[in-house]
Amino acid sequence: MAQVGFGDKMVNTVGELPAVGSKAPDFRLTDKDLKDKSLKDFAGKKLVLNIFPSIGTGVCQASVRRFNSEAEKLDNTMVLCISVDLPFAQKDFCAAEGLDNVITLSAMRTRAFGKDYGVLFTEGGFEGLFSRSIVVVDESGKVIYTEQVPATGQEPNYEAALAVLK
């Protein structure tokens, strides 16, 4: 398990992020049209998995906005913004903000993604949600970068995540 700052306390996640060099775990997540998506649906593309607790918080919103602005500059790359929020909330946020370069995916049907990627909070105020993390996957499905942000209120290192895609 990993520990992440939540306010003035450290809280645990269910595990660790996938190791760099390992095969990215498959997943079942729900898109804005309530259709299930898996890793196979994005085969042959580089992926940035922008994982966060909730689209309803400022830092999470900032990460979606930033990756949306970066996504159009990335070759053969898709940015997947992943949280436990309902697809309707994710869709409404992106529509209100004019964000159309990212794909939002929800873990509303199962928390298996959170367990398999090691990001599910097991305690604290965000128990059951995901810790803010970035996982970058290459075209072959191999993990090439990970970051679990050390404090929930902190933004990820965008530059480091994007640098591995060039």
- pLDDT digit string (tens) for 40-92? 999 999 999 999 999 999 999 999 999 999 999 999 999 999 999 999 999 99
Average pLDDT over residues 127-153: 97
Query: What is the pLDDT at residue 166?
Result: 84
Q: One-letter amino acid identity for 18?
A: P
Does the pTM surpass 0.85? The reply is yes
pLDDT digits (tens, 9 = 90+) for 9-35: 999 999 999 999 999 999 999 999 999
The β-bridge partners of 80 are 49, 103
Give phi and psi for 63, each to the nearest 5: -70, -40
What whole-number distance in Å separates Cα of residue 151 and Cα of residue 153?
A: 6
Under 8 Å between Cβ of 107 and 131: no
Query: Known catalytic residues?
Result: 60
Query: Would you say the C-alpha torsion 142, 102, 28, 133 has a positive or negative sign?
Result: positive
Q: What is residue 122's three-state secondary structure?
A: coil
Q: How far is CA 7 from CA 12, 24, 90, in A?
A: 13, 30, 25
d(CA 142, CA 139): 7
Q: Which domains does the chain have, with CATH numbers?
A: 3-163 (3.40.30.10)
